[in-house]
Amino acid sequence: MTHAHTSNTAAPNHTSYDAIIVGGGIMGSAIAWFLARRDDFGGRILVIERDPSYEFASTSHTNSCIRQQFSTEINIKVSQFGADFVQDLQHYMGPDERLPDCPIQSFGYMYLANSESGAQVLRENQALQARCGAGTQLLSREELDARYPFYALDDILLASHNPINEGYFEGATLFDWWRRLGREAGVEVLHDEVVSITRQSGPEGARVTGLVTAAGHTLSCGLIVNASGPRAALTAHMAGLELPVEPRKRLTFIFDAAEALGQTLPLTIDSSGVHVRSDGAYYMAGCAPDDDAAVAVDDFDDRPELWEEKVWPAIASRIPAFERIKLIRSWVGHYAYNTLDQNAVVGPHPELANFYFANGFSGHGLQQSPAVGRGLAELIVTGAYQSLDLTPFAYQRLIDNRPLVEKAVI
């Protein structure tokens, strides 16, 4: 990703802000922009970002895809708004003649089921997605073979594919424009690290009152938004709160194939857990390591053995043409992984009402950023969600140990 429009201050312009957002990745930038554009807010907004190069941010390691094939209504609707938003930046962010187009390359995701229980999940998901207006289609092995003859399908019972508003989009474009227009609307971005948060108890419960940065700035604020990606638990901890979100490694591989498939490869989720899709003239594959555990926030060591041991065998047995491929490059990124249910945590803490979460997005935060940015801005300004109700993502389910089960996690 390029970050041509970054402009950060080394010292804050004020000692007090209405809203301070910890982390300036896609979430922090979305929330800042949605807040700044509201006529009914008018407060001072500060984004504090420890690394304005975003080298290690999840936002820079993303695969930048969007889908409606989820098993929960909220995730489907959140992504449907994401798809509307990115494809009509002029409507949502304009009018502004500088705004670029941000189309979705709708190659669709292809879920493959190799068991009757897996097939039943696809049927149920497709029914729900269809009720929500998504274009998901179920494909028998014969139908799949006729449309995509390159797959080896002996073990496959059923597939699901959605060719509408599902595929790749330029997440970097969205990120750049949120930051550029946010700054133009008065959002201040401070290059610094939040190291502690102060809270106070009062007759109406506890509240955060301010924070201290690594450079020694003490700032007071009306509210804090935790948008610190895989470091979210550290930021929550500063406010005295637990958050079961941890960094987990996810690997991405770009490869060239000697034998082209002759058509665009949908984002295919293999039963091995490896996923693979077209990436321009190349292909992209991704996976988790087998020993998927929490890693240190600064551990980005590559796992090159996974290419030979896991990814290549999996994709070559699913797509025999991929016997002859060449690895071009790979990278390691971190999911912000919610160990309860791998779903987002959005909204205030029930006992610390002016500390807001925008955390735990695993592998779907990029597509969720428009709906989460809009929703949190609504909640902050009006006290309630006005458009799409994001209450299913509320922190309370962590206290109640009530997972928001999403069966289509990648």
Ligand X SMILES: Cc1cc2nc3c(=O)[nH]c(=O)nc-3n(C[C@H](O)[C@H](O)[C@H](O)COP(=O)(O)OP(=O)(O)OC[C@H]3O[C@@H](n4cnc5c(N)ncnc54)[C@H](O)[C@@H]3O)c2cc1C
- Residue ranges binding ligand X (CB under 6 A): 22-28, 48-51, 54, 57-59, 61-65, 193-194, 227-231, 235, 250, 252, 333-335, 361, 363-367
Tokens matching residue 272 = 């091995």
Other CB atoms within 10 A of residue 295 CB: 17
Closest C-alpha among 254, 307, 257 to residue 279: 254
Instruction: Give me the residue whose beta carbon is nearest to ligand X.
Output: 365
> CB-wise, 57 or 74, nearer to ligand X?
57
Please say which residue, 69 or 119, places its beta carbon nearer to ligand X. Answer: 69
Smallest separation, CB 22 to ligand X (Å): 5
Q: Which residues pair with 188 in a beta bridge?
A: 46
Query: Could you tell me the sign of the dihedral formed by the alpha carbons of 366, 369, 35, 355, in that order?
Result: negative
257 versus 267: smaller Cβ distance to ligand X: 267
The end-to-end CA distance of the chain, in Å, is 22
What is the C-alpha to C-alpha distance for residues 156 and 162, in angstroms, rounded to an integer?
Answer: 18
How many residues in the chain?
Answer: 410
Residue that has been written with the tokens 């494909």 in this structure: 139
Nearer to ligand X, 228 or 342 (CB): 228
CB atoms within 10 A of CB 116: 9
**164: which residues sit within 8 A by CB, 6+ positions away?**
68, 106, 108, 134, 135
Residues paired with residue 345 on neighbouring β-strands, in sequence order: 359
Helix (H) or strand (E) holding 142: helix 141-147
CA distances from 184 to 13, 39, 165 (A): 15, 15, 30
**Beta-strand pair 45-49/218-226:** unpaired
Nearest distance from residue 60's CB to ligand X, in Å?
Answer: 7
C-alpha–C-alpha distance, residues 15 and 337, integer Å: 33
Q: Which residue has the tokens 């010292």?
A: 11
**Is the CB of 65 or the CB of 408 nearer to ligand X?**
65
Q: Residue 372 CB, nearest distance to ligand X (Å)?
A: 9
Would you say 362 and 334 are in contact if contact means Cβ atoms under 8 Å apart?
no
Least distance to ligand X from the beta carbon of 317, Å?
23
Closest approach, Cβ 286 to ligand X, in A, equals 6
Residues with Cβ within 8 Å of residue 10, at least 6 apart in sequence: 190, 191, 215
The alpha carbon dihedral of 365, 61, 87, 380 has a sign of positive
Task: Check: CB of residue 102 under 8 Å from CB of residue 86.
Answer: yes
State the minimum distance, in angstroms, from the CB of residue 36 to ligand X: 17
Nearer to ligand X, 27 or 156 (CB): 27
DSSP H helical segments within 241-399, as ranges? 305-306, 312-318, 365-382, 396-399
